[in-house]
Amino acid sequence: MKSFVREFITQSRHVTQELRHRQLIQTALGKYEVKRDEKKAAFQNWPAARQAAAETKWEAINHLDQHLTDFARRLEARGTVVHWASTAETARDIILGIVRDSKARSIIKSKAMTAEEIHLNDALEHAGFEVVESDLGEYIVQLRKEAPYHIVFPAMHLTRGEISELFARELGSAPTESPEELTMIARRALRQKYITADVGITGANFAIAETGMISITENEGNARLTAALPKVMITLLGIEKILPRLEDLALFLPMLATAGAGQALTCYNSLYGGPRQPGESDGPEQYHVVLLDNRRTQLLADPEQRDALHCIRCGACLNVCPIYRNIGGHTYATTYSGPIGSVITPHLRGLQDWKHLSYASSLCGACTETCPVKIDLHHHLLQNRRNSARQKPSRTEKLTFKLAAVVMNRPRLYAIVKKMARLFQPLHKLVKGSRLDPAYAWTQTRDLPTVPDQSFKDWWRTRA
Amino acid sequence: MSAASYYMTITLFIPCFVDMMYPKVGISMVHILERLGHKINYPEELVCCGQPAFNSGYWDESRTVATKVLDRLKDAEAVVIASGSCGAMLKVFYPDLFAQTPQAQNAKNLASKCYEFSDFLANRLGVTDLGARFPAKVTFHDGCHGLRELGNKKPARALLAKVRELELIEMKDAETCCGFGGTFAAKFPMISTAMGEVKCASAFATGAEYIVSNDSSCLMQVQGLLDRQKNPVKTIHLAEILAQS
């Protein structure tokens, strides 16, 4: 159980010492901030837009049962097969079943964090199928056999040179630092895969209850090809993706693009409502929608934190988080990294295993301030801490805070502690910054202030 | 209501680290508020707001400390807190901490009369010009709790704008956390330090001689790093600048 926290600490130490890596991430996210601010300014009233979005998602999540049944019924009316998966395992089995039934060999996939969440690619590959990621960033990390670094920018941690080397090694291409040429290399490799793929798997950005439609937003056209070319299309999505009405997209599409990538709107915005209908010339013969719970309903049952289900996976909270910017995406070792990941992972994968992410925060609140759907992220981190300490307190910590309370509530005792701090200060110099230093966690990298001879209270008393 | 027409009894809340390590901050506050004609009340037995236990998840232990604060400040006319972070604890988090307890109403009452120092001067007293003079280039660091929990972006800048011979140069990312975060700084020192390094670099880039803040805890983090780096830039609390003449 402890290994998750140990691994987190080891990785944090490693990345924080890699100045080049930190610089790369901070530069990239600095550019994002400039673009985001430009696009935010195009909204008549960004705070009001956030409020409207939060209210819409509140409505969607608080009537989730109704919206989901409406959504499913309308999809089914057009011949879509809707599957309900309560766990990751069920979802994998459902998808494997569909793929086997369609006698598929190769699968093309567009970006889906839910697929990462249920480790879908591993399951499909293990069962002998070829799966190819078609989003450029995802394709790159897939070739590297890595998890996505960021919810929205999966390969943001790599330089052009590193991508060129990867392509040369894996695809036999000539080295190049030109982004256009690199894209063309991936494009040539991927075009062939679209044509030969038997099944296309996509995620979803929104699920429209009113019309029974999936909304997918993207910048590369790869999700469109994934949906259009193979005979069988599968969409995997979390149940929280619901929006009540089609017109809600008028707010949510520009908002997602702005908060997520600093764009006014993503390049391609598509709606899918079913398989090829009679008289239509294209589209898949079969369309399957897999709705994933995977403990989202547990989060729904928590009145304090259910607004975490408002999340539209824009990644804005990662982008502004000073922790994320200094430790990077892989250090979290979770599907969802950054503040939203630290909030929901304990709910999805176990509080005691993942509570360290809630503690690994200065609670600065930059995430909450930026979240387009107003999730109270940093306060949820506090609640996770409280819940974990209640459920399984650390004995040393509990004792420390009990003792501290005794000292703080007794002025005489506090005065003695103060006097001792002053007395021990010269001795502290002998061990300062070494392993013997009781304040090593601080003094390893930072100096401590000198304790002055006269405290505020001493001074106050001289006036009396 | 202007300072001249109405004098109050102001109760000062001096947190442990200000009492022990930064007494000048509290002393400056007393001087400033007395100069404005107000009477200062300092309850000596209050040293901690209970935030470390609260932030670590130990709410029962936090309440042990906070209950005393609540009782002792019940009848105060106005409470001024010498830290944005402790201010947020009293004003924003006590109502959470005491929700569904017999003290819930007390916590709400206290919240309504708590002020962080700069907010108190600029918004409650309506005073921004204290006649201070500080001939230096400074940059201001927004402590996260003061900024985001209490919503205090403007008061400190309004106060600094009136200080004679002071030049304020805003740093890039003034609102980015310094990495202190209480127990976080000791639990995850490598992350805390990395965040502090980013803060110091962006402050240093302004060419300012002083980094000013209204939270001594942020300044302890920043000064601790600057000293270790042998960086000549100094940190100073807003109250210390305002008390200079």
Cα angle vertex A371, ends A254, A154, to 5°?
75
Distances A318 to A76, A241, A307 between C-alpha atoms, Å: 36, 19, 17
pLDDT value, residue A218: 97
- Contacts with B85 from chain A: Cβ below 8 Å: none
Q: Kindly determine whether residue B53 and residue A448, on different chains, have CB atoms separated by under 8 Å.
A: no
- Contacts with A445 from chain B: Cβ below 8 Å: 189-190, 193, 225, 228
Closest-approach residue (CA) in chain B for A323: B191
d(CA A61, CA A59): 6
pLDDT band at residue B3, thresholds of 50, 70 and 90? very low
Q: Is residue A366 domain-resident?
A: no
Q: Kindly determine whether residue A12 and residue B56, on different chains, have CB atoms separated by under 8 Å.
A: no
Closest-approach residue (CA) in chain A for B218: A362
d(CA A125, CA A134): 16
Q: Tell whether the model's pLDDT for residue B4 goes beyond 70.
A: no
How many other CB atoms sit within 10 Å of the CB of residue A141?
Answer: 21
- Contacts with A13 from chain B: Cβ below 8 Å: 190
- Contacts with B196 from chain A: Cβ below 8 Å: 446
For residue B87, the 8-state DSSP code is H
Contact assessment for residue A92 and residue A282, using Cβ atoms and an 8 Å cutoff? no
Q: Kindly determine whether residue A458 and residue B191, on different chains, have CB atoms separated by under 8 Å.
A: no
Q: Which two tokens stand for residue A38?
A: 């430009």
Cα angle vertex A365, ends A111, B187, to 5°?
95
d(CA B212, CA A134): 50
Q: Is residue A258 domain-resident?
A: yes
Out of A386, A442, A456, the one facing B59 most closely (by C-beta) is A386
Q: Kindly determine whether residue B184 and residue A418, on different chains, have CB atoms separated by under 8 Å.
A: no
Contact assessment for residue A194 and residue A225, using Cβ atoms and an 8 Å cutoff? yes
- What residues contact residue A24 under an 8 Å CB cut-off, 6+ apart? A157, A159
Closest-approach residue (CA) in chain B for A364: B144
Q: What ipTM does the predicted assembly reach?
A: 0.96
Q: Which two tokens stand for residue B47?
A: 């040293």
How many domains does the structure of chain A reveal? 2
Contact assessment for residue B81 and residue B117, using Cβ atoms and an 8 Å cutoff? yes
Q: Kindly determine whether residue A411 and residue B45, on different chains, have CB atoms separated by under 8 Å.
A: yes
Per the listing, tokens 């007794």 go with A410
Q: Tell whether the model's pLDDT for residue B1 goes beyond 50.
A: no
Closest-approach residue (CA) in chain B for A411: B45
Q: What is the mean pLDDT of each run of 10 residues along chain A (464 residues)?
A: 88 97 96 97 98 98 98 98 98 98 96 98 97 98 98 97 98 96 96 95 98 98 95 98 98 98 97 95 94 98 97 98 98 98 97 98 98 98 98 95 93 90 85 86 93 94 88
Q: Tell whether the model's pLDDT for residue B6 goes beyond 80.
A: no
Looking up residue A116, the CATH number of its domain turns out to be 3.40.50.10420
Q: Which domain holds residue A413?
A: 407-463
Assigned CATH class of B9-122: alpha beta
Last residue of one domain, picked from the residues A269, A294, A319: A294
Give the best residue of A358, A408, A414, A418 to mutate against chain B (max B CB count within 10 A): A408
Q: Which of A257, A249, A248, A247 is nearest to A40 (CA)?
A: A257
pLDDT value, residue B17: 93
Q: What is the pLDDT of residues B195-231, one digit of tens each?
A: 999 999 999 999 999 999 999 999 999 999 999 999 9
Last residue of one domain, picked from the residues A278, A294, A310: A294
Q: Give the type of residue at A104.
A: A
Closest-approach residue (CA) in chain B for A386: B57
Give pTM, 2 decimals: 0.96
**Do residue A278 and residue A418 come from a single domain?**
no
Cα angle vertex A380, ends A376, A382, to 5°?
130
d(CA A138, CA A142): 6
pLDDT value, residue A2: 61
- Contacts with B47 from chain A: Cβ below 8 Å: 408, 411, 414
Q: What is the pLDDT of residues B27-45, one digit of tens each?
A: 999 999 999 999 999 999 9
Distances A31 to A26, A87, B58 between C-alpha atoms, Å: 9, 38, 40
Distances B190 to A37, A343, A444, A446, B240 between C-alpha atoms, Å: 30, 21, 9, 11, 31
Q: What is the pLDDT of residues B115-164, one digit of tens each?
A: 999 999 999 999 999 999 999 999 999 999 999 999 999 999 999 999 99
d(CA B201, CA B223): 13
| Same fold yes or no, B9-122 and B128-242 | yes
Give the best residue of B12, B54, B60, B190 to mutate against chain A (max A CB count within 10 A): B190
- What residues contact residue A387 under an 8 Å CB cut-off, 6+ apart? A351, B57
Last residue of one domain, picked from the residues A294, A317, A332: A294
Q: What is the pLDDT of residues B69-108, one digit of tens each?
A: 999 999 999 999 999 999 999 999 999 999 999 999 999 9
**Domain ranges within chain B, ordered by starting residue:** 9-122, 128-242
Give the best residue of A445, A448, A462 to mutate against chain B (max B CB count within 10 A): A445
- What residues contact residue A19 under an 8 Å CB cut-off, 6+ apart? none
Q: What is the CATH number of domain B128-242?
A: 3.40.50.11810
Q: Which two tokens stand for residue A69?
A: 């049944």
**Do residue A287 and residue A417 come from a single domain?**
no
pLDDT value, residue A362: 98
